A and B are shown apart, each in its own frame.
Chain A
Amino acid sequence: MVESSEVRVVRCGGSRINVAAPVISVDSRFLLCASGDLVKVFSTSTEEWVHVLQGHTNVVTGITLNPANQLQVYSSSADGTVRLWDFTDGILIKTFVIGYPIATLLVSNKHEGILFLVVPAKDNSNSECLQLVAAHVPKTLEQEVEVRELSSVLPNISPNPRAVGFGREGEYIASAEGLKLIVYFFRDQKPYRFNLSKSTKKGAKNTFTCVSCHPKDDCVATGHEDGKIRLWRNFNQKKEYTYTTLHWHHSVVNTLCFTPEGTTLLSGGIESVLVQWQYDRNSKYILPRLGGSITHISVSADGSLFTTSHSDNKITVIQSNLKVSAVIQGLVKGEAVHTDLVIDPRSKALVLNGKPGHLQFYSLQRDKQLYNLDIVQQEYIYQEGLDQYEVVKAAFDAHGSCLATVEERGKKLSDTEITLKFWDYNETAQRYTLTCQKVFCAVWISTLNILYFSSFVLNTTVMTPHDNRITSMCFFPTAETTMVVTTARDGCFKAWLLGQESDTEKQGTDGPSWSCDFVGRYHDLQPTNCCFSADGSLLAVSFQEVITIWNPETWELLTTLCQPPGNIKDLCFGRLSCSRYLLATTTKNMLCCWNLLTCSLEWSTSIAVTLLKADPLSENMAVFTLQKEQTDLFVFKPCEPRPLFTQNALCVGEVQRAIFVPREEPLDNCDESSLWLNRSQLYCLTENMDLLAFTTKIEDDSLISRKLVCNLTLIVFEKHIKRVSCSIFCLVTINPVCHLLPTQAVIDDSVAVTPFYLLLGKHRQREQEMCGLPVTEQQGRAQLPQGSVAVREVRSRVPWKCLVMVYSTRSRVVLLLIFVCVCVCVCVCVLFYTFSCYTRRLMSCPQRPSYATCL
Chain B
Amino acid sequence: MGEFTVHRVRFFHYMPSGICAMAFNRRTERLAVARTDGSVELYSRTDHFFQEKVVPGRQQRSIQALCWVGKRLFGAGLSGEIAEFDLDNLRLKFSQDAYGGPIWSIVCNPQGTHLAAGCEDGTVKLFEILEDQIRFERNMGGQKGRIISLAWHSSGTKIAAGMIDMIKVFDLDSGELRSRGSRMQQSQECVVWSVLFLSDIIVSGDSAGKVKMWDVNTGTLIKNHQVTEWDVLTLSVSQDETSLFAGTSEGTVVQFQLLDVVLGQEEKEWVRTRTFKNHTHDVIALAEADTVIISGGMDTQLVVRPLLDKLDFKSRDSSLLKILFPQRSLVSCAKKAGLLLFQYPTHLELWRLGDTEGHGPPGCILPVSRNPEKLLHLKIKGEDHVCCSAVAPCGEWIAYSTTSGIRLYRLQRDNKNVSITKVPKLPKVLRHAHQLCFSPDSSHLYGTTSSAVHVVALTSAGCKFEHSLKPNSCVEPFGNESQEISDGKFLASANSNSEIHIYNMHKLKAHCTVPVYRSGVSAMGIHPETNNLVIVHADHQIFEFSIEQMQYTDWSRRVQKEGLHHVWLERDTPVINVTFNPQNPNHVILHDSYMFCIIDQSLPLPDRKSQFHNQLTLKSLPEAERLKHSHAFKECKLYQPLLCVDMLENQSLVVVERPLLDITTNLPAPVRQKKFAT
A residues with CB within 8 A of B: 168, 216-218, 233-236, 239-245, 250, 281-283
Is B78 interfacial (CB-CB < 8 Å)?
Answer: no
Query: Which 6 pairs show the lowest CB-CB distances between chains A and B?
Result: A218-B263, A242-B273, A244-B273, A236-B263, A240-B309, A233-B259
* Given A218-B260, A233-B273, 13 other A-B residues pairs in contact with their CB atoms under 8 A: A217-B261, A234-B257, A234-B260, A235-B263, A236-B264, A239-B310, A240-B310, A241-B309, A243-B273, A244-B273, A245-B274, A250-B676, A283-B226
Q: Are A242 and B261 closer than 8 Å at their CB atoms?
A: no
Which B residues between 258 and 278 are near A, CB-CB below 8 angstroms? 259-264, 271-275
CA A216 to CA B309, docked complex, whole Å:
25
Q: Are B274 and A243 closer than 8 Å at their CB atoms?
A: yes
Shortest Cβ distance from B309 into A: residue: A240
Name 6 interchain pairs, CB-CB below 8 A, sorted by A. Answer: A233-B257, A234-B257, A243-B274, A250-B677, A281-B226, A282-B227
For B608, list chain A residues within 8 Å (CB): none
For A234, list chain B residues within 8 Å (CB): 257, 259-260, 263
Q: Are B309 and A282 closer than 8 Å at their CB atoms?
A: no
Is B225 interfacial (CB-CB < 8 Å)?
Answer: yes
For A168, list chain B residues within 8 Å (CB): 262
CA A218 to CA B264, docked complex, whole Å:
10
CA A235 to CA B310, docked complex, whole Å:
15
For A282, list chain B residues within 8 Å (CB): 225-227, 272
Shortest Cβ distance from B224 into A: residue: A281
A281-B226, A282-B226, A283-B226 as given contacts; A233 in contact with B264, CB under 8 Å: no
Which B residues between 216 and 273 are near A, CB-CB below 8 angstroms? 225-227, 257, 259-264, 271-273
CA A37 to CA B261, docked complex, whole Å:
42
Grouping DSSP codes into helix (H, G, I), strand (E, B) and loop, the A interface class, with mixed when no group exceeds half, is loop
Q: Are B271 and A244 closer than 8 Å at their CB atoms?
A: yes
- For A168, A234, A236, the residue with the greatest tally of chain B CB atoms inside 10 Å of its CB is A234
For A217, list chain B residues within 8 Å (CB): 261-262
For A243, list chain B residues within 8 Å (CB): 273-274
Q: Are B271 and A233 closer than 8 Å at their CB atoms?
A: yes
B residues with CB within 8 A of A: 225-227, 257, 259-264, 271-275, 309-310, 676-677
Q: Are B259 and A242 closer than 8 Å at their CB atoms?
A: yes
For A250, list chain B residues within 8 Å (CB): 676-677
Shortest Cβ distance from A243 into B: residue: B273
Q: Smallest CB–CB gap between B475 and chain A, Å? A: 44
Q: Are A242 and B257 closer than 8 Å at their CB atoms?
A: yes
For A245, list chain B residues within 8 Å (CB): 274-275
CA A235 to CA B309, docked complex, whole Å:
12
CA A813 to CA B654, docked complex, whole Å:
105
For B676, list chain A residues within 8 Å (CB): 250
CA A790 to CA B525, docked complex, whole Å:
94
Shortest Cβ distance from A239 into B: residue: B309
CA A240 to CA B264, docked complex, whole Å:
14
Q: Are B262 and A242 closer than 8 Å at their CB atoms?
A: no
CA A241 to CA B310, docked complex, whole Å:
10
A239-B309, A281-B226, A282-B225 as given contacts; A244 in contact with B274, CB under 8 Å: yes
For A244, list chain B residues within 8 Å (CB): 271-274
CA A245 to CA B274, docked complex, whole Å:
7
Shortest Cβ distance from A172 into B: residue: B263
Q: Smallest CB–CB gap between A227 and chain B, Å? A: 10
CA A240 to CA B259, docked complex, whole Å:
11
CA A33 to CA B384, docked complex, whole Å:
78
Q: Are B261 and A218 closer than 8 Å at their CB atoms?
A: yes
Shortest Cβ distance from A383 into B: residue: B677
Shortest Cβ distance from A282 into B: residue: B226
For B261, list chain A residues within 8 Å (CB): 217-218
Q: Are A242 and B274 closer than 8 Å at their CB atoms?
A: yes
CA A319 to CA B257, docked complex, whole Å:
34
CA A243 to CA B257, docked complex, whole Å:
10
Q: Smallest CB–CB gap between B86 and chain A, Å? A: 41
Shortest Cβ distance from A185 into B: residue: B263
CA A283 to CA B226, docked complex, whole Å:
9
For B259, list chain A residues within 8 Å (CB): 233-234, 242
CA A243 to CA B225, docked complex, whole Å:
16
For A233, list chain B residues within 8 Å (CB): 257, 259, 271, 273
For B273, list chain A residues within 8 Å (CB): 233, 242-244
For A239, list chain B residues within 8 Å (CB): 309-310
CA A233 to CA B256, docked complex, whole Å:
12
For A235, list chain B residues within 8 Å (CB): 263
Q: Are B274 and A218 closer than 8 Å at their CB atoms?
A: no
Q: Smallest CB–CB gap between A25 and chain B, Å? A: 30
CA A239 to CA B309, docked complex, whole Å:
5
Q: Smallest CB–CB gap between A461 and chain B, Å? A: 31
CA A654 to CA B263, docked complex, whole Å:
55
Q: Smallest CB–CB gap between A424 and chain B, Å? A: 40
Shortest Cβ distance from B262 into A: residue: A218
Shortest Cβ distance from A217 into B: residue: B261
CA A622 to CA B190, docked complex, whole Å:
79
CA A723 to CA B263, docked complex, whole Å:
61
CA A216 to CA B262, docked complex, whole Å:
8
For A281, list chain B residues within 8 Å (CB): 225-226
Shortest Cβ distance from B225 into A: residue: A282
Q: Smallest CB–CB gap between B499 and chain A, Å? A: 39
CA A245 to CA B261, docked complex, whole Å:
18
Shortest Cβ distance from B311 into A: residue: A239
CA A240 to CA B273, docked complex, whole Å:
12
Shortest Cβ distance from A248 into B: residue: B676
Q: Smallest CB–CB gap between A228 and chain B, Å? A: 11
For B257, list chain A residues within 8 Å (CB): 233-234, 242
For A216, list chain B residues within 8 Å (CB): 262
- For A236, A242, A283, the residue with the greatest tally of chain B CB atoms inside 10 Å of its CB is A242
CA A393 to CA B63, docked complex, whole Å:
74
CA A218 to CA B271, docked complex, whole Å:
12
CA A216 to CA B261, docked complex, whole Å:
9
Q: Smallest CB–CB gap between B337 and chain A, Å? A: 47
CA A313 to CA B275, docked complex, whole Å:
38
